[in-house]
Structure 1
Amino acid sequence: MNTDDLVGQLISAGVAETSIVRLDQQATPRHLRYLDLLKECPKVDAMGPDVVVESGGQPQVYVVRQDRLGGSQGRSRQALFELIRVLGCRSDARFLVVVQHGGLDVYPVGVFTSVPQPLITDREEPAALWRSLLGGVEFSRQTSPGLKANYHWIENLLFKLLVAAATDIKAACSDLTARQVLSLVGRSLFFRFLVDRNIVKETDLPSISQKAESLSELFSTPQAMEDTCLWLDKTFNGDLLSLEDNGYQRIFRHIDDNIEKVCWSLSNIQHHAANGQLQLDWGWIKFQHVPVDVLSQVYEDFAHQFVPDLARKTSVHFTPRQIAEVVIEGAFSAVKSALPHEARVLDPSAGAGVFLVLALRRLVAEHWLHTGVRPTRQVIRQVLANQLSGFDINLDALNIAALSLYLAALELDPKPSPLTDLKFKKLIGSVLRLVDNESLGTKTDLGSLSQPIIQGIENHYDIVVGNPPWTGFKGGAAKSLNETLAQLIRHEADTTVAKSEADGVVARYGSPDIAFLLAARLWTKPEGAIALALHGRFLFQKDAYALRRHVFSVLRVTGIMNFAALRQDKRLWPTNDAQFILLVAENSQPKQSDRFYFISPRQEPQLAAVGQFRVDPSAAIPVSCQVPCKHLDAFKALYKGGPLGFELISRIQHENRHSVKTQLDQLNLKFKSGYQLGKVENRIRSAQHLVGCPTADLNMCYRVDERFAETFDIETLQWPRTPDIYEGPLLLFRESPKLDRAVRGALVSETKTAFSESFFGLSFRGKVQYRSLMDLLYILSYSDLLIYYQLLTSAKFGVERDSSLQCDLENFPLVDWESLDREMNHRVRKVASKLSAGDPCWKEVDEIVADIYELSHADQQLIKDTLSVELPFVGARHFANQSVSETDLIAFTDAFNRIAGPFSNSEHAVAMPLGKHRGWSFIQIGGNQNREDLFTMFKELERLCVTGDSYWASQLRYHVADGIEILGRIDQMRYWTKTEARIQALEWLRQCAEVAEQEV
């Protein structure tokens, strides 16, 4: 078998040809991230894979032929171990497939000390196996607990080793500053990179130092280490992780007696291991295969932990490569102010430079595509010097960025020799700019948002990218930020935010990320691209609405990726649990007809296990650029409810203009939070007015029953609240609604009742004339409509927390309760009485709420389906990812047929369930079901499924014949609800109508 045969086998199994990257060919722009694996690469020191299969543009599976691993079993196993080790250093694809005649063996890629057991051996169903691998499910399904426990990533190992080395050096010599330790470790790491990449060879040793016998010993003595540091300064330049004092002899003499321990720690970094079983130390790592952006990411994380001041002064969170790649791709796809290879790129909050490194790589690829010739060192250095800029307020961060860019330029260099030709121009002060107060001559602590920067580089760049700080500034910096953001808002001649309101808009938001977004408009040329990672609160906070309106009125947003559902996926972004978004925009005024795409990746455990997420093109919602300017809750409704949910919420808000709070205020009724117990030493206020009262408990259902409730007996509290809020009749609403209806709604109490801050109460004492309002609110609290509305409009519920806020209930659009007729009031009283008596009459609750709010059957089904898969509770998350049953498929086709059936000329059902296969479920639309045809069709369906997984699709349509097609969707309940069936049926009818029009 040769590589052509292998590629043919993959294609016949259903792998899309466009997803296959051959590694036996001459380098092309597509090979840029795989240069270290190409067989033509002189740096390749071990046998590499034959091909890599990408999914969604990301490397997913490496493939090698068994015969290339060697003939004998021992030799083959050693070659396999070395290959897994090489690929483990790359930190991208998680699987290696060994192809042999008659089957496939799948191995995990990671950090191992010996050859791991194969995850799976497949001899019969290669297409199904490829589907599982490309869909990201094989790791979670096949990996044993023991293997998972020993499964490491190169990032984890590198971070652990860096911290250990720095800690040992600092312990040995406390007089060294943290920054000096950081620089020593960084220099040793950089030198190891040069050696492993064969940029520095043993023949270069005499020109570096006469005090060492090999390259690995250059950090083993003070004299050799001093020579090496001086050589690095001379060969490259002085801003390579400066030691703050280039008098190396003086520094090392100051270390004195502990210099041997320092040298020992730094020499370990240079250690290369022999073949065979390895320990997980520096010797395991092959730096010629560690991508520079991975090294940069780990080093920044290490620097933040080891130099706390760095973390305080800069953004605490480094940006993972996977996220940064999405930002860079979005920016280069959107830019129109220049050809991609000519674009000038700015990162105004550069940090360790991960965005700049990826931008450099992309620019080199674009040059290659444009000219058809691989860029030379001269071209790469020109791109680095003239097309990239990075600003930061911290010199340590810029030093790391400089190191990262040096490494990236060397990595991309087709011929990184001779050493005498490799010296870089200084980056700090040119490409990388320090923007602290001292450098700028300011006192605002605003860095890139300082006036000299904002005004000094207008219309200078084609692309602005990055991850600006999310946390709010404090003290004087906060005041300066507010003034700057107000100026940026007022800068626009035509804005939906009145200039007089600008200061108030700013104060309510407070975070600098949107100031960076608006400043980017000034820095970017017309029709340039802006792509930033921002805090998700910008989309969801009601206080940010005026700011959103302004942004969407002056900036042509083209795409938003919302990661709220993945904020706690530690494999995706280990150091961050805040909601975040990626926003891409063209720097131009939006037109009335302009739209952007809004997509929210969902949490899928099998993908989360390997740090991946599904970007499903069919899940991207086209949204008019006018919508965020007109609808307060647009993004939350679209995120949790999709277009149908947004339409329903908009309709309810339009038809019921007065909120719960508005109507209660008119009646002088207010929600009040209950008592706060507080710490023992703070319980100094009398609570005698509560002693002897029944106490409400969160586990109670429907009402506070005095017969079973505990009697309140605490005499003092920190905050007992005023006595009148506890008087009955009472409605007690829970702060944290539950999935179970019985403990979701309010508790009713006819008498005085003690309740804690876990409730907010509404007392109707002395207001018996409002009993019908009390009953209506009581019923609503148990209805699906209320929690659905909160889910689709709350800034917190379902985004940052599992509990709702008092304001979420207050904002609910309440019908004019006084306009309800006598019959409806009678029904309300009857249902409320049943509930308070302990009767879970959910059908009656839903029916009466549907009648009051004029909800159709489709509306009610939409509410039910949305709650089943989108509520922020474990049960709902589990159900959303649950496999579809035969009953579910039948229910789906029944719902489809109820809509499409009346328009069909056939006597047969329009849609029929076909069954499930390896992660997909299928139905047939049109025609008669033929079991024999079905079985012959499954092989073709498998191939299609593999193709679909290559693009992370959730849905496939297979045209069988005129009027007959197969619909396949991912085997997860979120894709097979009755509401989804309704959407599919309406789409099918639309297509049928289009065909009919064409035939006329």
Structure 2
Amino acid sequence: MAMTLSALPLDDAWRQRLDLAGRDAPDLYESLDSVRDTPHAAAIRATLDGLGASGVFCVQGVPTVVIASLERYERERVVALHAALWNQGLASLLVVLTEDIVRVFSLSRTPYSNPGDEFERRCLVETLTVSADALALKGIVYGVESGRFWEEHAKFFNPRERVDSVLLENLTRSHALLVGAGLDPDAAQALLIQTMFIAYLEDREIVGPDYFEAASGRRAKNLVGLLRTGEVARLEALFSALRIDFNGDLFVAPCSFEPDESPPIIGPPHLHVLSRFRDGHEEMGAGQMHFWGYDFKHIPIELISAVYDRFLGEREAERRERGAYYTPMFLADTVVTQVWDALPDSVREKGEFLDPACGSGIFLVRSFQRLCEHWRQTRTSTTIRWTSLLSMLSRVRGFDLNPGAVRVAVFSLYIALLEQVNPPDIRQLIKKGNVLPEVWGKTLVCRDFFAVDATAAKVDVVIGNPPWTSRRGPSRSSITWCAERKLPMPLQEDAWAFTWKAMLHLRSDGCVAFLLPAMGFLHNHSDVSVAARSRLIATARVRRVVNFADLRFQLFDGAVRAAALIIFGPAPAGQPAYRFDYWAPKADLNLKVKRLITLSSADKSFITSKAAKADPLIFKRRLWMSEPEGKLFNYLSGFTRLDQLVAIFGDVARGTAHGRGWVLGDGFKQAVAKHIGKTSYNTVRSDYVGVLPHIKIEDLPPLAIAKPDLDGAPKWQTRTVHRRGFEAAYTGDRVLIPRGVQVGRGRLRAAYCVENCTFSSIIQGLTVPAGEETRGKLLTALLNSRVLMWFAFHETASLGSDRPEIQKSELVRLPFPRPEEMPEPLRAQRAADGLVETIDRALNRPGFALDADPDDIFPEIDKLAYDYFCLSPEEIALIEDAARFILPAIQPHQGSLPAIWRGSTRRDRVAYAQVMTDALAAWFGGDHPVGARLEAHNDDLAVLKLKLDPAGRPTPYAESSDSEVRDLLAKIFKNVHQPLPGNFQLMPDFRVFDGNSLYLVKPMQLRFWLRSAALSDADAIALDLQDFAGLRKKQEGVA
């Protein structure tokens, strides 16, 4: 479909204009020789060689911008290139350079055939000229790396117009039409898989007009023409030829892969649906007949393998029952790349890979492709022998319970295999017959993983996204397998069973790389989960954990649980304590194009095995906690906790705790009407519910429930409940605390109550014993402060990592000291008096609101809480930044734009510099002030210079606009004799010393210019200086 463009090479002038000077592989690829062992090597080569582009610019290894330098702008050729790249589904921008004009096109816009000037209207993002838009030209690459470009031009990057969305929409529509025409769902799925395979053979010119003419009795020269005849016999004749030339089980008959079974009967209506789909010149849902069409020569097989998920979309209940969710291509790429980079050459050369729940085979396809690229790199050849390809294909294996999924995996690997061979060579192989090897039932098997003998299936790498299914019935084989071996399986989570069994399949130096539920494996602090996690850390050697909790709503369509990648292998004999990488990537603007996950150095750290076993919440705390925040957390953790005063009602009822009047319990659980009367469903009659006024969660006022709040409040509609709840909390003095947390508001909620009322289990009630009313009011006020919200954010398992809620067992771990415990008792007592007075005012005067409080009561509470805990201005800054910026930004939904993602203002940078220089001056003893100056910046990147003034003269903060960022960086790195790094967005904490000056290279996003960021950066700089001073002393000692 696409014609070769034959673009010009990028010359030095264009490199300077686009600020690409010094950017080479793995950022910028301009020649085939530079494409070596990179995740998308085949696509980059195809773009440079097959499509004739001048260059491919990558962000974290993902092709993102395709550059074409032309002598003159030719719309027809640019339209063809755009269509081919749209089908490829990787890059997001096409930048066309002609004379002194730069045209920037979106590759997320559906291509049309013969579009005329409609092409520019729909796809042209902007037109820039060399003379008038010099800064904007340099900003293209920086904006792409930071994600700013996608936000500023959001209307051009609608995910629904990308090839994956359009193709999968049409597959789903075609499937529905085939089922509507009488085929069962599995037969329809099989027929579409077969049709796509033939389309691939045709688009790659592996089979041509002669092939279709022979099958159709010279009535058609292509697949569409054959289908349009409406004659099933012609399609059957085509299948007969394909069965002989390619593979016996893939083309048994239309709709069938089973030679021993009678195939379903199809007719002209089914062929009509297939012709519409194959024709590709309409979006079947909308009926638009001018769509350019698919080119399976360019569509990645990783994308095509996603048909499994979309077909299962017709059976949502089945998908949820299996716990199977389609793994997005960019997430699968991240997983495979993480594993591949850690593998020794011996495994890359000879190692075997296994996906125990392979689904559509995306992990196996990407693993096979990396094996092929490694072969090319180590042999400096682009052509791989057929026998070598078959050997590598035999090294990737998979199991799955779903036969349809295994068929899709077979189909995917067949295409992945053929992609490695030039069409003329394939046509030579066809002459020998049965080109494709048998993989169904051989290396790809429809079988329960827990029925597989581990000793007979040893491999070097186990990789995949095993089912996340829990509490789905006691008869699952995973439960039986774990029970027989006395292996823990918290909440009967299948992923735990897959984890234990995967280890048995490893050779001595092998590794497992699984996408797993983050809550169950990292954050849950129940006894059984902690024990299982400790056992895994002790019996395996964990190598890396990548916690995707903040990307919870960005990764899986329909899944609501956060994911984590855990890479681990067998533990060496007598394993001592060890440490492993812990990465916690954050959602950012780059997720808007769904192409990559930003893995920034600011989000990378390590955890020791000893710490991971000793602290059940370490993975949660390290999601967002910086070093300065760690110090504040340790300070607050040292105070008396609420659990030293409060007992949980369940423990009291069981006789395992004594509450001394302070008892915390849930409200009643309502009875489900349809279950009432069933012998297996318990109901009881309450003496309070249905008798007292009832308060709903949405009607719970802030701070206190006054008598007018309950005037006219209805009673619960029945006295019959499933559980009575903690009935002592329906009367008397108590504190009502919602379990759910509105994280964006930056505070928990609590209301002091003396009026009789009932509440449901979504609210927790804490009884306050007689004589302790003042202390109860103090607790209520503190629970409404940002201080305890900040502490709860870092201390609780779920808040900020899974569901926004706080459980009873977590609530009682909050600090609640008496004023006399504080470093400044008088200051704390004055604050306590003010906090109690606030609650008294709320009890006596209704009308407070969280959204708009005329008395500004919550800032007053925060100020008093800061005084109560005797916090410093720096500690207050940490909490304020978290409440105002971090908490509203955690786990953002698709389409949201948290404030922390926006660019910083000069005011933000001034505040950052002030905190930074004050902190460093304190480190130097105050005698040598530190000056800060922004030496260069653009919309995405800044260079901050810090300089110690020996004369003791403070220098006010200033910003310069005289230097270009890249020019200044080149000068600095030349002075220190270091190579200039590439993407600084991935190194937001980059620091370089040059004489008496320290340069910080920082992204311009607000996240990196908060006051809390300044404190964290100051700590890191102080450590650098300590290391430097230690090195100097050691050198002087040697001298």
Q: Shorter chain as normaliser: what TM range?
A: 0.7 to 0.9
2:736 to 732, 739, 745: 732
**CA-CA distance at 1:294 after TM superposition:** 1.1
Which amino acid in structure 2 is aligned with residue 923 of structure 1? L
CA displacement, residues 397-437 of structure 1 (integer Å, 9 cap, x when unaligned): 111111111100000124322222461221012111221xx
**Which shifted more, 672-681 or 284-293?**
672-681
After superposition, residues 768-917 of structure 1 pair within 5 angstroms as 768-815=770-817, 828-838=832-842, 858-872=874-888, 878-902=898-922, 903=924, 909-913=930-934, 917=938
**Distance in 1 between residues matched to 2:344 and 2:261, nearest whole Å:** 53
Q: Relative to 1, partners in 2 of residues 1:417 and 1:29: Cα closer, same or farther, differing over 3 Å?
A: farther
Where does residue 608 of structure 1 map in the other structure? Answer: 592
**CA-CA distance at 1:560 after TM superposition:** 1.5
CA contact (8 A) 2:732 2:767 kept: yes
2:206 to 199, 205, 216: 199
Residue 534 of structure 1 aligns to a residue in which SS? Answer: strand
**Distance in 2 between residues matched to 1:929 and 1:771, nearest whole Å:** 51
Residue 671 of structure 1 aligns to a residue in which SS? Answer: strand
Where does residue 4 of structure 2 map in the other structure? Answer: none
**Distance in 1 between residues matched to 2:927 and 2:272, nearest whole Å:** 82
Where does residue 672 of structure 1 map in the other structure? Answer: 665
Residue 195 of structure 2 aligns to a residue in which SS? Answer: helix
Which amino acid in structure 2 is aligned with residue 3 of structure 1? P
Q: Is 1:82 aligned to 2:83, yes or no?
A: no
Q: Relative to 1, partners in 2 of residues 1:772 and 1:121: Cα closer, same or farther, differing over 3 Å?
A: same
**Distance in 2 between residues matched to 1:206 and 1:249, nearest whole Å:** 29
CA contact (8 A) 2:281 2:292 kept: yes
**Which shifted more, 653-662 or 199-208?**
653-662
CA contact (8 A) 2:936 2:959 kept: no
Q: Relative to 1, partners in 2 of residues 1:659 and 1:912: Cα closer, same or farther, differing over 3 Å?
A: farther
Where does residue 454 of structure 2 map in the other structure? Answer: 454
CA contact (8 A) 1:363 1:383 kept: no
2:359 to 347, 351, 370: 351
Q: Relative to 1, partners in 2 of residues 1:106 and 1:170: Cα closer, same or farther, differing over 3 Å?
A: same
Q: TM-score, normalised by structure 1?
A: 0.85
Q: Relative to 1, partners in 2 of residues 1:462 and 1:384: Cα closer, same or farther, differing over 3 Å?
A: same
Q: Is 1:568 aligned to 2:550, yes or no?
A: no
CA displacement, residues 438-467 of structure 1 (integer Å, 9 cap, x when unaligned): xxxxxxxxx2123x433533xx21111111
Where does residue 360 of structure 1 map in the other structure? Answer: 368
Q: Is 1:163 aligned to 2:172, yes or no?
A: yes
Residue 341 of structure 2 aligns to a residue in which SS? Answer: helix
Give percent identity, aligned residues only. 17
Which amino acid in structure 2 is aligned with residue 112 of structure 1? P
After superposition, residues 371-382 of structure 1 pair within 5 angstroms as 371-382=379-390
**Distance in 2 between residues matched to 1:353 and 1:53, nearest whole Å:** 28
**Distance in 1 between residues matched to 2:589 and 2:8, nearest whole Å:** 37
Q: What are the ranges of 5 or more consecutive residues in structure 1 without an aligned counterpart?
A: 436-446, 491-501
Residue 748 of structure 1 aligns to a residue in which SS? Answer: strand
After superposition, residues 293-308 of structure 1 pair within 5 angstroms as 293-297=302-306, 299-306=307-314
Q: Relative to 1, partners in 2 of residues 1:163 and 1:996: Cα closer, same or farther, differing over 3 Å?
A: closer
CA contact (8 A) 2:216 2:238 kept: yes
Q: What are the ranges of 5 or more consecutive residues in structure 2 without an aligned counterpart?
A: 1-6, 649-657, 677-682, 843-854, 949-954, 974-978
CA displacement, residues 883-935 of structure 1 (integer Å, 9 cap, x when unaligned): 32222212111111222114179865432456852123453211678989751
Which amino acid in structure 1 is aligned with residue 456 of structure 2? G
Where does residue 3 of structure 2 map in the other structure? Answer: none
**CA-CA distance at 1:966 after TM superposition:** 3.1
CA contact (8 A) 2:736 2:752 kept: yes
Where does residue 443 of structure 1 map in the other structure? Answer: none
CA displacement, residues 792-840 of structure 1 (integer Å, 9 cap, x when unaligned): 1323222233333333313335447997899666763453123331476
CA contact (8 A) 1:694 1:711 kept: no
CA displacement, residues 188-215 of structure 1 (integer Å, 9 cap, x when unaligned): 1110100101111223346545364312
**Distance in 2 between residues matched to 1:540 and 1:62, nearest whole Å:** 41
Q: How many residues align?
A: 945
**Distance in 1 between residues matched to 2:47 and 2:148, nearest whole Å:** 34
CA contact (8 A) 2:904 2:1006 kept: yes
Which amino acid in structure 2 is aligned with residue 405 of structure 1? L
CA contact (8 A) 1:772 1:828 kept: no
Greater fraction helix? 1
Which amino acid in structure 2 is aligned with residue 93 of structure 1? A
CA contact (8 A) 2:357 2:399 kept: yes
CA contact (8 A) 1:868 1:879 kept: no
CA contact (8 A) 1:732 1:759 kept: yes
**Distance in 2 between residues matched to 1:617 and 1:33, nearest whole Å:** 22
Where does residue 69 of structure 2 map in the other structure? Answer: 65
Q: TM-score, normalised by structure 2?
A: 0.82
Q: Relative to 1, partners in 2 of residues 1:957 and 1:150: Cα closer, same or farther, differing over 3 Å?
A: closer
Q: Relative to 1, partners in 2 of residues 1:826 and 1:893: Cα closer, same or farther, differing over 3 Å?
A: closer
CA contact (8 A) 1:337 1:525 kept: no
Where does residue 482 of structure 1 map in the other structure? Answer: 479
Where does residue 250 of structure 2 map in the other structure? Answer: 240
Which amino acid in structure 2 is aligned with residue 891 of structure 1? A
Q: CA RMSD in A?
A: 3.9
Residue 639 of structure 1 aligns to a residue in which SS? Answer: coil
Q: Relative to 1, partners in 2 of residues 1:917 and 1:465: Cα closer, same or farther, differing over 3 Å?
A: same
Where does residue 467 of structure 1 map in the other structure? Answer: 465
Residue 598 of structure 1 aligns to a residue in which SS? Answer: strand
Residue 297 of structure 2 aligns to a residue in which SS? Answer: helix
Q: Is 1:112 aligned to 2:111, yes or no?
A: yes
CA displacement, residues 648-678 of structure 1 (integer Å, 9 cap, x when unaligned): 5456446546725755744143223345677
Q: Relative to 1, partners in 2 of residues 1:882 and 1:954: Cα closer, same or farther, differing over 3 Å?
A: farther
CA displacement, residues 607-655 of structure 1 (integer Å, 9 cap, x when unaligned): 3344543211232012212221110111111113245545554564465
Where does residue 438 of structure 1 map in the other structure? Answer: none
**CA-CA distance at 1:313 after TM superposition:** 7.2
Where does residue 941 of structure 2 map in the other structure? Answer: 920
Where does residue 522 of structure 1 map in the other structure? Answer: 504
CA displacement, residues 289-328 of structure 1 (integer Å, 9 cap, x when unaligned): 111111112x212332356797477553121121111211
Q: Relative to 1, partners in 2 of residues 1:770 and 1:32: Cα closer, same or farther, differing over 3 Å?
A: closer
Where does residue 11 of structure 2 map in the other structure? Answer: 5
Residue 338 of structure 1 aligns to a residue in which SS? Answer: helix
**Distance in 2 between residues matched to 1:930 and 1:770, nearest whole Å:** 52
Q: Relative to 1, partners in 2 of residues 1:739 and 1:318: Cα closer, same or farther, differing over 3 Å?
A: closer
Where does residue 226 of structure 1 map in the other structure? Answer: 236
**CA-CA distance at 1:55 after TM superposition:** 0.9
2:986 to 953, 967, 973: 953
**Distance in 1 between residues matched to 2:21 and 2:621, nearest whole Å:** 37
CA displacement, residues 688-739 of structure 1 (integer Å, 9 cap, x when unaligned): 7876769587452322222454333437435476764222222222333446
**Distance in 2 between residues matched to 1:819 and 1:24, nearest whole Å:** 68
1:54 to 34, 54, 58: 58
Where does residue 1019 of structure 2 map in the other structure? Answer: 986
Which amino acid in structure 2 is aligned with residue 553 of structure 1? A
Q: Relative to 1, partners in 2 of residues 1:368 and 1:712: Cα closer, same or farther, differing over 3 Å?
A: same
CA displacement, residues 372-417 of structure 1 (integer Å, 9 cap, x when unaligned): 2235242443334431111111222111111111100000124322
Where does residue 702 of structure 2 map in the other structure? Answer: 701
**Which shifted more, 813-822 or 28-37?**
813-822
Where does residue 760 of structure 1 map in the other structure? Answer: 764
Which amino acid in structure 2 is aligned with residue 53 of structure 1? F
Q: Relative to 1, partners in 2 of residues 1:611 and 1:837: Cα closer, same or farther, differing over 3 Å?
A: farther
Q: Relative to 1, partners in 2 of residues 1:940 and 1:659: Cα closer, same or farther, differing over 3 Å?
A: farther
Q: Which structure has more RCO (C-alpha within 8 Å, separation ≥ 6)? A: 1
1:962 to 979, 984, 995: 995
**CA-CA distance at 1:474 after TM superposition:** 2.6
After superposition, residues 318-467 of structure 1 pair within 5 angstroms as 318-336=326-344, 338-414=346-422, 415-418=425-428, 419-421=430-432, 423-435=435-447, 447-450=448-451, 452-457=452-457, 460-467=458-465
CA contact (8 A) 1:674 1:721 kept: yes
Q: Relative to 1, partners in 2 of residues 1:920 and 1:13: Cα closer, same or farther, differing over 3 Å?
A: same
